[in-house]
Amino acid sequence: MKARIIREPRCALLWRIDESYPNYAAIERAAKRYEVKLRRVADGDLGGIVGDLCAGKPAPAAAPLIAVPDRPAIIISGLRHDTGELGAFLDLVQAGGASIPVRSMVTPTNKSWMLANLLLELNTEHETVQGEKA
């Protein structure tokens, strides 16, 4: 019996990041080099499931009434951290001058989360880490 390998789509969900974001071109260059599709997500996508959004599926028509911080975030799917590919992608973005405060990868656990819930969790973690550095 052959094992079925399921490859996650190579996608980066961009929250509060668009062409006007400082050094956005660095994000585009990294995405092109690593064949990652950039998908900007907004308030209307907050009810979407992370894995579905990465796969290009639309979010549900009604977004949840959840206040999500405006802190820019990137959520990356399809790049492997164990091979260094994810780190190299993020290094390329940073080397180009784009600083994204919240960064995450899609995991088997969070790919079934609503985008709003993942963004809330990532921001809570970010604030905890920043508090420890202060």
Q: What is the mean pLDDT of residues 49-72?
A: 90
Q: Report yes or no on 16 lying in a domain.
A: yes
Strands across the sheet containing 37-41: 37-41, 11-15, 73-77, 102-105
Residue 1 placed within a domain: no
CB count, 10 Å around CB of 42?
13
Give the residue from 97, 98, 49 showing the smallest Cα distance to 77: 49
- Domain of residue 82, residue span: 11-133
Q: Is 33 a domain residue?
A: yes
4: in domain: no
pLDDT single digits (tens) 89-117: 999 999 999 999 999 999 999 999 999 99
Is residue 128 situated within a structural domain? yes
Is residue 2 situated within a structural domain?
Answer: no
The reply to whether 95 falls in a domain is: yes
pLDDT value of position 2 = 56
Strand partners, 12: 38, 76
Q: pLDDT confidence of 6, banded at 50, 70, 90?
A: low
Among all chains, which residue has been given the structure tokens 């969790």?
121
Q: Measuring CA to CA, which residue among 14, 11, 100 is closest to residue 51?
A: 11
Is 90 exceeded by the pLDDT of residue 11? yes
Residues linked to residue 39 through DSSP beta bridges, in sequence order: 13
Q: How many domains does the chain have?
A: 1
CB 23 within 8 A of CB 121: no
- Amino acid identity, position 73: A
What's the rounded Cα separation, in Å, for the pair 133 and 85?
Answer: 27
Find the range with the poorest average confidence among 12-16, 20-24, 35-39, 62-66. Answer: 62-66
pLDDT on residue 133: 61
Q: Taking 80 as the threshold, does the pLDDT of residue 134 lie above it?
A: no
- In this structure, is residue 40 part of a structural domain? yes
